[in-house]
Amino acid sequence: MSSDEENRSGREPTPHRRVLGLAAPIIGENLLETMLGIVDTVLVARVGMAAIAGVGMGQQLTFFVLSMLAALSVGSSVLVAQAVGAADVATAGRYARQSLLWSVILSVPLALGGVLLAEPILRVCGLEPEAHRIAVGFFQVTMGTVVVLVARIIAGGVLRGAGDSRTPMRVTAVANVLNIGLAYGLIYGHWGMPALGAVGSAWATFAARAVALLLILRPLWVGRGGVRLGGGGSWRPDVSVIRQVLSIGVPAAVERSSS
């Protein structure tokens, strides 16, 4: 019997069904996030071996950053879940607002550092000149727009903390569909889009993630699982909240990045 059938029959879902109901969409979301990179690599294959090598190296560095950022979202998810579990709607909303606000504050220096240091960081990788040029351009676009990536990851963590792990998965699926069309158009110059070559795949992924961010913020703004961004509440930075988020997220980030 499914969880929905159990709910209709008045029976509580069993613990393993509850865990599976939350975990399966998270696994699906992670797979779909990985697919964004796979699609980019496949689509740039026609550009040449240098493009494959350059995009591949840029993606490896991006995945390293992504693994740490995804782990940091654990802090936001845990704090929101605790507030929701305690039926403290005001605190849950406060944690959600602060998590998103600090995602922007912390990602700005990350973006600047990525753009300015991309060339020396990738120089040590020993790529051929053309592959190095492509990798630098790809990484600069990805890190220069990292504010969107961080905000989307944190927003997904907040939604999961509110008990909704399906919406982030569905939104990531939409991002994949958009990325396929945009990447093909921007790499090769189809449908009136400029032909940007391999770096066009990075711009396509950014655009797809920007749409995904808007889609994932909508349910949070109107309210989901007791968590609501709109309807008042302070957006002033609160250092105590980010300390709590980091105290939970940093150990998870270290563990993930070292595994």
- pLDDT tens digit string along 40-87? 888 998 888 999 999 989 888 888 777 777 667 888 888 999 998 898
pLDDT at 9 over 60: no
Beta bridge partners of 227: 224
Q: How far is CA 4 from CA 11, 17, 104, 137, 147, in A?
A: 10, 10, 37, 48, 37
Can you give the pLDDT at residue 2?
Answer: 41
Can you give the pLDDT at residue 230?
Answer: 79
pLDDT at 6 over 60: no
pLDDT at 204 over 90: yes
Split at pLDDT 50, 70, 90, the class of 257 is low
pLDDT at 189 over 90: yes
Can you give the pLDDT at residue 12?
Answer: 63
Separation CA 170–CA 215 (nearest Å):
10
Nearest to 103 by CA among 155, 180, 142, 54: 155
Query: Is the model more confident about 233 or about 229?
Result: 229
